Amino acid sequence: MTLQATAHITRFAPSPNGKLHLGHAYSALMAHKLAGAGTFILRIEDIDLGRRRPHFIDAIYEDLAWLGLSWPTPVMIQSERFDIYKTALNKLRDMDVVYPCWASRADIRDYINAQPGGREAWPVDPDGAPIYPGLYKDISSAKRDAMMWEGGTYAWRLDSEKAAKRARQKQANLSYFEASKQESIDVNSGLYGDVILARKEIPTSYHLSVVVDDAEQDISLVTRGMDLQGATHIHRILQILLEYPEPAYYHHELVREADGRRLSKRAGDIGIEYYRAQGYAPAQLIDDLLPPLTT
């Protein structure tokens, strides 16, 4: 039985910080297709308030409708849900699996550069960023309380070791199901180190908000690009700790340029809007410019 033969709840969750490009179209179409007889949901992930632009939200609706997609309304808007994310963060604080960190990017860079071998010898995460060195992980409770009282900018980091240990107390086997390969994959709790889950001024990060929202919207099959496969190791631990249902995952290939570079808003890659203006029919765009949708 193919995935499409099962009724899934899937979602496409773009950020309104630029126009959608072909990679977004492929991801949205894949999610829609894999929903089968189920439901395809659109979510707007706009927790980055500094880059959020309302006109890009309207453009997302227009581009997806042009592709022939439809979705239930009202659409979930993450920036309207900060109190909900804060509640989830407080649950993790009560479990003592997160801690405040005052280290700036410069602090982290300087610490790593001062170690033997410097940046080149330091372990990195799947995105190529250096693993956080734990500068504020083991400070005393008294010092931590004093620093929080003094204020200053800090972030809440997940204590990956404590979190994995606590998750294993709830569920001995830490894994997730990769539907694209029909196999179970063991969770590597240290893959990203102690990631940021929230900041003082914004009570969430991608990792926390996406887990909370997928649970609230009953997403049964998370479809997203291969570039986010590593993040699933974090998300499964959070799902277990917060006692959320476990979805299956389908990580699809990325749409790339001829030189192998993946498409990017920041690189100014041609958006779906361009093809609309050039008179392309949606079916022509899908057939001619996108990789085949296979399941």
Residue 271, pLDDT > 90, answer: no
For the chain, where do the domains classified as CATH 3.40.50.620 start and end? 1-78+256-295, 81-218+231-247
pLDDT at position 46, please? 95
pLDDT at position 168, please? 96
CA atoms of 220 and 250, how far apart (whole Å): 11
Q: How would residue 253 be classed by pLDDT, with cut points 50, 70 and 90?
A: confident
pLDDT at position 265, please? 46
Average pLDDT, integer, range 150-155: 88
Torsion sign across C-alpha atoms 144, 137, 245, 81: positive
Assess contact for 78 and 213: CB atoms under 8 A.
yes
Residue 261, pLDDT > 70, answer: no
Residue 107, pLDDT > 50, answer: yes
DSSP run (H or E) holding 87: helix 82-94
Percentages (nearest 5) of helix, strand, coil residues in the chain: 40, 15, 45
pLDDT at position 266, please? 47
CATH superfamily, domain 1-78+256-295, is HUPs (3.40.50.620)
pLDDT at position 292, please? 54
pLDDT at position 272, please? 83
CA atoms of 238 and 166, how far apart (whole Å): 10
Residue 263, pLDDT > 50, answer: no
Average pLDDT, integer, range 80-99: 97
pLDDT at position 282, please? 84
Residue 201, pLDDT > 90, answer: no
CA atoms of 45 and 224, how far apart (whole Å): 14
pLDDT at position 269, please? 56
pTM above 0.75, yes or no: yes
Residue 264, pLDDT > 60, answer: no
Higher pLDDT among residues 237 and 269, named by residue:
237
Average pLDDT, integer, range 148-177: 94
At 233-243, the pLDDT tens digits run 999 999 999 99
In one-letter notation, the amino acid at residue 235 is: H
Torsion sign across C-alpha atoms 264, 265, 267, 268: positive
Among residues 285, 263, 292, which one has the least CA distance to residue 20? Answer: 263
Residue 105, pLDDT > 60, answer: yes
CA atoms of 264 and 23, how far apart (whole Å): 8
* CATH architecture of the domain formed by 81-218+231-247: 3-Layer(aba) Sandwich (3.40)
